[in-house]
Each structure stands twice: as C-alpha cells, then as structure tokens.
Amino acid sequence: MVLKFDTRDKKPKLFNLLILTVVSLIAAALLITVSPSGNIGAVCLLIAAYCFFAEFTLIYSFCEQIRYNPYSYNTIIYFGFALFAFSVMITHIVLAVRIFKYPEIYRADEVIRSLLTSAKNYIFISSPFLLIFFAALCLSNISLIRHEGMRFVNLLGIFLSFVIVAGEVFIFTFDFAVSGSRLEVMLHDLITNFLASLYLYFECMLIGTIVAGAVTARYEPEKNIDFLIILGCGLKKDGTPTPLLRGRVERAVAFYEKQKSLTGKDLIFITSGGKGDDEIISESAAMKRCLIDCGVHEKNIIEEDRSKNTFENMKFSKEKIQKINPEGKIAFSTTNYHVFRSGIFARRVKMRAVGMGAKTKWYFWPNAAVREFAGLLVNHRVKQALILGGTAVFYAVLTIFAYNK
C-alpha cells in the first residue's frame, strides 16, 4: 500500500486509546486485587487484548498522520510505541499460556511483576536491532573519520553506541544485584524501572525516527509542483557545491525533467542558502550555477541568499513564493536523511511542502540519522518531557503499588 501525503483534513486523535488505557488500568488493578489466583491467566489475556487494540490504534494513527501531515513528531511517537505495545502483548500472551498450563505455581502478583518488567523486556527484545544499528553506526563513524578527519561530530555515533549498550548492560546487571530490607528493595526497583523507562522512551523514539525518516525520504511527490526549493548545505573552498549539495541539485533536476516529460508542467527552482563566513559566494549562487550547467533556464531560478539554517531556508523561501503565487504547490529537495526534519520546519512556517531525498554514501547515513534524531529531540522538549515524565510516573506508581498492595 502506498501512503499518499496530505490527503486527510483532520489530525488523528487518540482520545479513545487514552480513555481505554485509564479504564483498563483500573479494571486490571481491581481484578488483580480481588481475583483468586486461578483467574490471573484471564487478566493476562485482558492486558494482551488491550495491547493489541493499542498497537492497532497506533499503527492506524501512524498511517492517518502521514495522510494528514507526515512531517510531525506524532509520526515518530505512534510507530515507536506501537512496537512497545506489541512487545507487551506477546509477553502477556506467553505468560497467560504458562499460567493456564501451570496454575499452581503462579501467584496473583505475577501480572504486576510482568508489567513492571515490560520496559526491560522491550529493551531485551529490541536489543538485536539496536546492536546491528549501533554496529553500523560505529562502522559509519570509522569511515567518516577516514574520509573527513577526526572531528567530534564524526565520533558522535561511537559515543552514543557506547552509552546505549553500556546503559542496557548496567540495567540488567544492576537489577540482579539487590538485597536488604523491603524498603531498600523497593527503592532499588524504583531506580531500575526509572532507568528502564528512560531507555524505553529513547529506543521507541529512535526507532520511530528511523522509520519516519525512511518513509518520507522514499516518497516521490506528485508531478504537479509549481516551486521546488533546494536546501543548501555548504560549499567547497573554491565556491563549488560539495558532493552532498550537488546531489540535492541533481535530485531536483531529475524530478523537474520527469514532471516536464509526463505533464508538460514547468516549475520554478528556489535555491536557498546564504553565504557562510568561510565561503566565497552564497550557497544559493553556487546552486544556481549548477542548475544552469544542468540545462535549467535562468528565468526558472530564484535565489534566496539570506538563510543560515533549515528553518530560515523554509521561512525565506516561503516569502519568495508568496510574492509570486501563494496557492502554488511546493516541494523541496534535500539529502535523504534530512527530509523528515526539513519537512517539520516547513510546516512550522505554515508552508505545506513535500520533500524528496537525494541519495548519500552509505557510511554517512547512520551517523547523519542520529544527528537528525538529536535535532528532533532538541526541538520538541515540552512534548518529550510530558511523554517521558508520564512513562516514568507510570512505572513508579506501579512499583509502589506492587510493594504496598
């Protein structure tokens, strides 16, 4: 199934899932408290059924969000936490089978214990994917260092890989090293579950970011575009485009030629990028030269040479477009890993534009994807704090409940 962007008028809502979550938590707590041990298997199936509904709702909302606005933080959240819901569902189905098979060895608090370990279980289940990704990240950084030299940004992937792997190892080893009074054990579990919820959140967001980035990077806009913005990204010392920037220009030209041959419709290129302190000309001027060399007529090119970052690329390009045709259809060309975050900036300036991604060398993509992920986190601090705080509070309350019921 091919998902079409911007075909839905209303944002998908999750109020039904929120209400069901509250009701299910209350019902599960009551059942665990008052039910005899023989009914614990039924409680596990109830939780599994809830998780199935949550997973279905989140995946459906992910697809609907893409139809409404693919360049949204919600896109990441829906997909990332759908995987967590799937993990919890599988865990409780397996536990229910064991309880029905050996009812005499399971107590009523088994379900609470399984919920408490759900974050750690997800970390364990997702660890093969993360290990593969972080291995690729380390190889990516090594290749970057060989090609571009020793810089901190080229060591970011290795550092992040170490932090994630070391943190997960610490969580699992720390979880087994516990002794003391009931209060001391409860405090130990509070710390363990807080760390696990922290890693759960960031793993969900990282996986969601990778998927959202892949979906938007592979999308091909419809061939009815009036304006095509090319985002700048730095020049060589002689003022010519870097291979990364040339890739963006060539991707834009390839789209233009395809649109022209299929529909006969012309478009206007907007080369967007100012002049850096270490650059002899603006990125906009360098891209214009490159477009002309590719056979684009000068009358089809508008320069935007004030911007210094992606947000300003979109803001100042929109100002140019508004003066010519406020109703025109807009697309932008950038490198594949940068499409998703660029689209977020476009929507932030209230410009409905769809992106296309130029390919980049394999060794650049994993590290660049992590940098994009970090950029997204920095730009959405409030929403992150709410979700992360809510996750941590859930596990804290459940831990206290388990020790005081």
Q: For the segment 228-242, what is each residue's pLDDT rounded down to a tens digit?
A: 999 998 888 888 899
- The CB density around residue 25, as the number of other CB atoms within 10 Å, is 16
Q: What is the pLDDT of residues 172-203, one digit of tens each?
A: 887 776 777 888 888 888 888 888 888 888 88
Residue 192: which residues within 8 A CB-CB, separation 6 or more? 120, 171, 174, 175
Condensed to tens digits (0 to 9), the pLDDT of residues 24-66 reads 777 766 766 665 555 778 788 888 988 998 999 999 999 999 9
Is residue 363 included in any domain, yes or no?
no
SS3 106: coil
Q: Per-residue confidence of the chain (405 residues) as pLDDT tens digits?
A: 567 888 888 888 887 777 877 777 777 667 666 655 557 787 888 889 889 989 999 999 999 999 999 999 889 989 999 999 999 999 989 888 888 888 777 776 777 888 888 998 888 888 888 788 788 788 877 877 776 677 766 677 777 778 878 888 888 887 776 777 888 888 888 888 888 888 888 888 888 988 998 899 999 999 999 999 999 988 888 888 998 999 999 999 999 999 999 999 999 999 999 998 888 999 999 999 999 999 999 999 999 999 999 999 999 999 999 999 999 999 999 999 899 999 999 999 999 999 999 988 776 777 777 777 777 777 777 878 888 898 889 899 888 888 776
Partner residues linked to 270 by β-bridges: 229, 302
What is the DSSP pairing of strand 227-231 with strand 330-335?
parallel
- 191 and 274 together in one domain: no
**Domain end point (choices 328, 360, 388):** 328
Report whether 353 contacts 318 (CB < 8 A): no
Beta bridge partners of 386: none
Q: Does 377 lie in the same domain as 320?
A: no
Per DSSP, the three-state class of 153 is: helix
Is residue 118 in a domain?
A: yes
Q: Give the end of a domain, one of 328, 352, 380.
A: 328
Residue among 35, 357, 76 at smallest CA distance from 201:
76
* Rounded Cα–Cα distance for residues 308 and 238 (Å): 19
For residue 349, is it within any domain? no
171 and 244 co-located in one domain: no
Whether 212 and 233 map to the same domain: the answer is no
Same domain? For 204 and 242 the reply is no
Structural domain range at position 383: 15-218+370-404
Q: Which of 328, 354, 383 marks a domain boundary?
A: 328
CA-based diameter of the chain, in Å? 81
Tell me, yes or no, whether 51 and 185 share the same domain: yes
| Domain-embedded: residue 356 | no
Ordered strands of the 353-358 beta sheet: 301-304, 268-272, 227-231, 330-335, 353-358
Please state, in angstroms and rounded to a whole number, the distance separating the CA atoms of residues 140 and 157.
8
Q: Are residues 208 and 279 in the same domain?
A: no
Give the single-character DSSP code of 327.
T
Q: How many domains does the chain have?
A: 2
281 shares a domain with 197 = no
- Give the closest residue to 232 by CA, choosing from 326, 152, 324, 311: 311
The secondary structure element, H or E, covering residue 202 is helix 182-217
CA distances from 67 to 148, 209, 340, 370 (A): 39, 17, 14, 25
